[in-house]
Structure formats: C-alpha cells, structure tokens
Amino acid sequence: MEKFFITTAIDYVNGAPHIGHAYEKILTDVIYRHFTQRCDKHFFLTGTDEHGIKIQKTSAAQGMSPKELCDMNSQKFKDAWKALCVDYDKFIRTTDEYHEKVVQKIFKKLVDKGDIYKHSYKGLYCSGCEAFLSEKDLTEDGLCPDHQKKPEIVEEENYFFKLTKYKDAIIKHIKTHPEFIIPSFRANEVLNQLENIEDISVSRATSNVSWGVPVLGDSEQSIYVWIDALSNYITALGYDIDGDSDQNFKDFWPATVQVIGKDILKFHSIYWPAILMALDLPLPEHLFAHGWITIDEAKMSKSLGNVISPTSVLEAFNIDIPDPLRYYMATAAPCGKDGNYSDEDFKEKVNAHLANSMGNLLNRTLSMLVKYFEGDIKPEFLEKNELKEKALETIKSVKHHFDYLEIQEAALRIIELVDATNKYVTDNAPWTLAKEEQMEKCGVVLTNVLQVMTVIASLIYPYCPNIAEAMAEQLSYDIGIKLDNIDCEYIKAGHLIDKENIKPVFLRIDSELADKNKK
C-alpha cells in the first residue's frame, strides 16, 4: 500500500459532540492507526460542517451570530477528539476561507459546464437532513423517518445539479466495484435509490437561508449544504479548480476510505461521485457506512434526554485515559451494523478484556520474571517459542479483518490470542515449575509469553494507544515497529525487565467508585 487517506463525516455544529459522533471518530482513528502500522504515507481528515438553516436557527435561538455558535461548538468537537486521542492530521471547518473560495469556484465550474442550472421548485424540506425529501421518503404520518419531523414546504427558485446525467455512470461504478460500498449489503439499497433519482437543489434563496456560501455573481442565492459539505474532502487537501492544487491533494486523493454513518450514505454514494465525475476527479476507493449507536437500546434523542457526551463517560467512571471507551466503541458492532452503549456492559467488557485478561497477564508474567530471574532473559530461555505460530497467525487475520473494515472482528482475534496465552500460562504453571526448581523450563514459559505480549501490544495499539504504549515501555519494546516486521522474537537474551517499571497497565473500573462519582 503506497498511501492511506481516511476521512470522517464532518459534524454539524448546532450542538456539542455526542457519543454517536464519537463512535465514528474513534472507529476512524482505530482504522487509521492500524494502517499507520502498515504504511508510511498517511493522512486523516475530520472537521465540522458549519453552514445551513439548522445553524442559522440555533444561533438565533441562543442569541448569537452563526459564526459565534460555530466557533464555540467547533472547539467542543476538537476538545472531545483530543480527550479521546483521535489523532487527525487536519481539521477542516467549512467556514474556513480557503474552503469557501474553492467551493465557489467548483460551483461556477459546474454552472459553466451546464451541470448546474436555475429552476423554480416546490418541495418538502427537512432541516434535520438538510435536504429535500419526496413524498415516498416520508412515514405514513408524513414525517421524516430519521428526524420524526414534518418537513416544511419550500417554494423557491434554486440552482439545480444535473444528478441524472451521472446516473448510469454511478450505477456502472457500483456494479463493477463491489468493494466501493462497505458493507456490501448497502450497495443494493443505493442501487434502488438510484432508480428514482432526480436532479437536486444545490442552493437556497439568501432571503430564506443567509448562512451559506454565496453563489459567485448571484447575491440572491447561497450554495446549499451538500456541495459545500462534500467538497471538504478535497478542499482540505488543497484542491484548486485551476489545476493548481497543493501537493497534499496530489499525494492523497482519491481517498482510501471515507467513513460515514448509514444515514448519509445516499449523499456520499450518489451525490459525491456525481460531483467528482463532473469535476473529472477519481472516486474514493471505499465508502464505509457504519451503523448507529443506541443508548440502552433506545435511539439517542434530546426529547428522551439520553444524549451522552463521550467525555462525560470518562468523567463518570473516573478514567484518565480514553482507551477503555475507545475499545468499547470500536468493538460495539460488527461491520456496518448498529451497536449499543450501556454503562453496565461498558464496565463489564473493559474490565474483562483489558484489565483481567490482558493487563493482568502482562503484570503477573513480568512480576514472575523479576521474582525468579531478576528480570533477566537468559539465552537458554529462547530455545523454543510454542505460541509464536498463533501470534503470527493472529497478525495475519487482524490485517485481513482491517482490510475489510471488520474492526470488531479484528479485536476478537486479539482477545482470542490473549485467552490462548492465558491458557498457556495456566497449563504450564510457571510458579509450579519454579517451586520444583525446573528453572530453565520456567524461564522458557515466561519468555514465550513476553514475546507474544509484544505482538499483543502492537495489535491492541490502534484501539488502546496509551495502554499499548505502557505495555511496550514495561517490555522495553518499540511500539512503532511495522506489523510486517514483527517476528515474535523481539525479546532477546540479556533483555532486561526493570522492576521499578512494572505496574498494572489498566485498573478495573471500580463500580462503587463510578457510581459514587456519578451521583
């Protein structure tokens, strides 16, 4: 793989980040970190989507200007991603000047090409979706199925984009590139939607929606959300219409993976390819549509009062690293399916996997090595490595799962390796070997376990970067080693484990403490 470029959806800033937004950013960060372990040239883009009627209305209700609301909330997203160790390379805001300028040029190019035309229109507009809906998109009660709100009737003269011109080319692309839409079961949904597509409105009258990028040469119209929002993926890389794009664009476009929620797949699998085709640009390799996160099996909504902020989870459980939440969220659902968050399940899962199985295994192995051998690996301990095959097989299958964006499944393979290693320790009982003074055998067992622990540290790193780094430090292991260079023989004779360094890498979440903190 020569380069890896991954993007997330850019979030609306009419509110603060919630755990659904966090789910997507964590998932993307985990995928990104895994591929940094396989490739040297990589880029991770995220950001915020700041124009539109939703922002305009919310800012008015809060007695602020739209820009003030955007500045305040965009910062909250940045702060949340920092707290969660979401390590992006670039954060774009659609109110960034360079972005707005290029969006105007893109719009103009499409007008000049005849792909955008003016047309009077009457339609049903859902401000939740920031899109026009057709009658058949609505529920029996005439509501938007995603936002449970009645769309408003909008009658305006708008600019329209000739989506229908690109219909056949998009159908062909989807059919000839089965890896384009992940999971593949969503491709059929998109093909069905494509059957009935019409040209789409891409501007709004400034008299109704003033908070948007103005159309060049037409002060009555603002460019409306989707051309503005979708273009972020190329403007952030320094794309320019006159062929004067920055090196980042040349190096990284087309994207390797674009991560989005299933609710906005239509915009990314139909509108976005059409815009790219109109601009004569290549399409992204994969669109990964993840499922939705529910809270205690209920849809998250302000009216239900169950909207959870990701950082409040860390505070409530008194956790000073985001790793457990990252691990839990990234493994919350099989590829593309919905997942659920519950406090109880969170506690149970991270205690079982990260504290009891993985952390404890490292801690007791290192402690025994210090107790019996003063932390010294002797040459005769390296004679055989019975677990090596299993560890190397696990690297292969983790890579395979990541190639198919099966992030939960990859974690299951890692935990299976942890479980197999724990079983190996139980079966070989190094403490009994030491008691029976079979010291060489005891040293071999402990060394085998530590070799595998280096592999586990590398594999768990994308999910739990802080825990992995702490494991690597105690093992005197280089966590930056590329997955292809791991041979499960990192620990050599003379490799010293420092007694002072040994401490648990992750403590169980204490339920009483967590409950007390919550109150």
Tell me which residues are annotated as active site.
18, 21, 126, 129, 144, 147, 299, 302
Q: Please, which residue, 23 or 402, has the CB nearer to ligand MSP?
A: 23
Interface with ligand MSP (CB under 6 A), residue from 70, 194, 257, 300: 300
Asked if the peptide bond before residue 282 counts as cis, ω within 30 degrees of 0, the response is no
Q: Determine if 293 is a binding residue for ligand MSP (CB under 6 A).
A: yes
Cβ at position 255, least distance to ligand MSP in Å: 12
Q: Please, which residue, 154 or 229, has the CB nearer to ligand MSP?
A: 229
d(CA 291, CA 301) in angstroms, rounded, equals 16
Q: Determine if 343 is a binding residue for ligand MSP (CB under 6 A).
A: no
Interface with ligand MSP (CB under 6 A), residue from 6, 230, 410, 445: 230
Which residues, 4 to 43, sit near ligand MSP by CB under 6 A? 9-12, 20-21, 23-24
CA dihedral sign of residues 506, 511, 516, 517: positive
- Tell me the sheet residues that pair with 452: none
Helix axes 66-83, 19-36, angle to 10 degrees: 50
Cβ at position 93, least distance to ligand MSP in Å: 12
Q: Determine if 229 is a binding residue for ligand MSP (CB under 6 A).
A: yes
Q: Determine if 80 is a binding residue for ligand MSP (CB under 6 A).
A: no
Cβ at position 136, least distance to ligand MSP in Å: 22
Q: Determine if 264 is a binding residue for ligand MSP (CB under 6 A).
A: yes
364, 376, 441, 422: CA torsion to nearest 10 = 20
Q: Determine if 116 is a binding residue for ligand MSP (CB under 6 A).
A: no
Q: Please, which residue, 341 or 424, has the CB nearer to ligand MSP?
A: 341
Q: Determine if 69 is a binding residue for ligand MSP (CB under 6 A).
A: no
d(CA 462, CA 85) in angstroms, rounded, equals 10
d(CA 69, CA 51) in angstroms, rounded, equals 11
Tell me what percent of the chain is helix, strand and coil, each rounded to the nearest 5. Answer: 50, 15, 35
Nearest residue to ligand MSP on Cβ basis: 261
Closest CA to 158 of 133, 129, 123: 123
d(CA 184, CA 288) in angstroms, rounded, equals 9
d(CA 5, CA 321) in angstroms, rounded, equals 26
Cβ at position 10, least distance to ligand MSP in Å: 5
What is the tally of helices (H) and strands (E) in the chain? 21, 16
Interface with ligand MSP (CB under 6 A), residue from 66, 151, 238, 261: 261
**What is the chain's Cα-based Rg?**
26
The set of residues, in sequence order, having a beta carbon less than 8 Å from that of 83 and lying 6+ positions away, is 310, 311, 314, 322
Interface with ligand MSP (CB under 6 A), residue from 6, 102, 170, 260: 260
Q: Six-digit token pair at 446?
A: 């402990």
How many residues touch ligand MSP under the rule CB under 6 A: the total is: 19
Residue in this structure with the two tokens 């802080």, named with its chain if needed? 466
Interface with ligand MSP (CB under 6 A), residue from 6, 28, 49, 363: 49
Q: Please, which residue, 4 or 12, has the CB nearer to ligand MSP?
A: 12
Cβ at position 295, least distance to ligand MSP in Å: 8
Residues lying near ligand MSP in the complex (CB under 6 A) are found at 9-12, 20-21, 23-24, 49, 229-230, 232, 260-261, 263-264, 292-293, 300
